[in-house]
Chain A
Amino acid sequence: MDNKINITSSMNNLLSRFTRRFKDGSIGTKLSHFIFGAGNIYHKQYIKGLLFLLLQIGIILFMVLCPEINNTPYGYKALLNLSLKNLSEGGAFDPTTGVFTHGSDCKLIILFGFVTIAVIIIYFILWDKNISSSFKADNDLKVGKKPSSFKQDLSELFDSKFHVTMLTPTCIAALVFTILPTIFMIALAFTTYNDQDMNEMGTNLFYWNGLNNFRAVFTGEGSLGIEIKNRFMPVLGWTFIWAIFATLTCYFGGIILALLINKKGLKGQKIFRTIFILTIAIPQFISLLAVRNLLGEYGPINGLLMNLGLTNSPIGFLGLRPGDSERLAKLMVIIINMWVGIPYTMLMTSGILMNIPQDLYEAARVDGASTIKMFFKITLPYVIFVTTPYLISSFVGNINSFNSIFLLTGGGPAYTGYQAGGTDLLVTWLYKVTIDQGSYNTGAVIGIFTFIITASITLLTYRRSKAYNQEDTFQ
Chain B
Amino acid sequence: MNTATLKLAAAEKADSKSKAKAVWNYNNNTCFLLKMLLTAAGFIIAIVVNIFFPQKAAVEIKTYIVSIFAFDISLTMNDAYIFLLAALAVVYLVSGLSSWSDKDSRKKYSKNAAFRFALGIAFALWDIGGTKLQLFAQPFFPGPAQVAEAYLADGEYVLQNTLYSLRLYAAGFSCGVLLGVGTGILIGWFPKIYYWVFPVLKITGVVPAVAWMPFALTLLPTSFTAAVFLIVICAWFQIAFLTAQGIQSTPKQSYEAARILGSSSPDLIFHVAIPHAMPDIFTGITSANAMAFTTLVMSEMLGQPGGLGYYINQSKVWSAYYKVLAAIVIMAVLFSLINHIIGRIQKHTLRWQEGVVKK
Q: Do A and B bind each other?
A: no
Query: Which residues of A come within 8 Å of B, CB atoms?
Result: none
Query: Which residues of B come within 8 Å of A, CB atoms?
Result: none
